[in-house]
Amino acid sequence: MKEFKPVWLIIQPSIANLMYECLTSNNLPLITSISYVELTGEILDTTVRQKMKKLFDCHVANQYGANEVNSIAYECPCGNMHIMENNVYVEIIKDRRCVLNEMGEICITSLTNSAMPLIRYLIGDIGKLKRFHCECGNKAPILEHIYGRNSQWIINESNNKITPYIIVGVFNHINRVFNEVIIQYQVIQNSYTSFLIKLFLEDTDIPYNFIEYEIKRKLKEELNFTFNLEFKYYDDFFDKYGEEKHSFFFNLITQ
């Protein structure tokens, strides 16, 4: 990269994270040619975004797309994911209805692919579509809370489905409070009332029980039901070179 002098980076958050660790832990020289970083392919949390800003001091944007249709939504300067209306028509389907302001399956119609038309294609991801006035001036609808196709629901004893997106919110909160201490996390629901929390932390003086207490407190506040947590600590548990996207949540009840 030093020789090639890239100006743009379009990468997955997990790879961006890996690059950050590699550059900083080996004291490698910064790649100063980069003026824009686009993150795509996985859920983006605030930690990776901040690391990229810190590393390259440039504009960092989130993009949601799929191999089948290319770009579906792109983040504007106000931080909203506007639909690429010239490229795709997006609907959200829940209980066989088209919905607005509700979570549901993302349904795509390609407006540009005449060789292989995809009409009302359920791409396997879930999200929420909203229409509101955005300060950036783009009038296209906004896609929120996008989860990958491997996303599963948190399920409580009454069999209610709860969006796993709250987990991302909880860990973003923890990283804000504890100075970006969590490098990787994964939550596994073992039963209706028990979760395993896998963590890979930075070297830190913060006692682990402080972090555990805050995770438990915040998760209880969000989930609003009673459960037990078990914590396990690892060094780097995601397979860096695997093909699989890194999932932050698994539900063993439904598997």
Contacting positions for Zn ion (CB under 5 A): 76, 78, 80, 134, 136, 138
CB of 136 to Zn ion, least distance (A): 3
Closest to Zn ion by CB, 74 or 185? 74
Residue by residue, what is the 3-state secondary structure of 140-188?
CCEEEEEECCCCCCEECCCCCEECCHHHHHHHHHHHHHCCCCEEEEEEE
- Distance (Å, whole) CA 184 – CA 177: 16
Handedness of CA 101, 102, 106, 109 (dihedral sign): negative
Closest to Zn ion by CB, 78 or 122? 78
Tokens of 47: 């930690």
CA distances from 99 to 72, 166, 179 (A): 18, 21, 38
CB of 102 to Zn ion, least distance (A): 21
Closest to Zn ion by CB, 55 or 134? 134
29: buried, middle or exposed (CB in 10 Å: 19+, 13-18, 0-12)? Answer: exposed
CB of 144 to Zn ion, least distance (A): 12
Closest to Zn ion by CB, 132 or 241? 132
CB of 110 to Zn ion, least distance (A): 23
CB of 191 to Zn ion, least distance (A): 42
Closest to Zn ion by CB, 96 or 133? 133
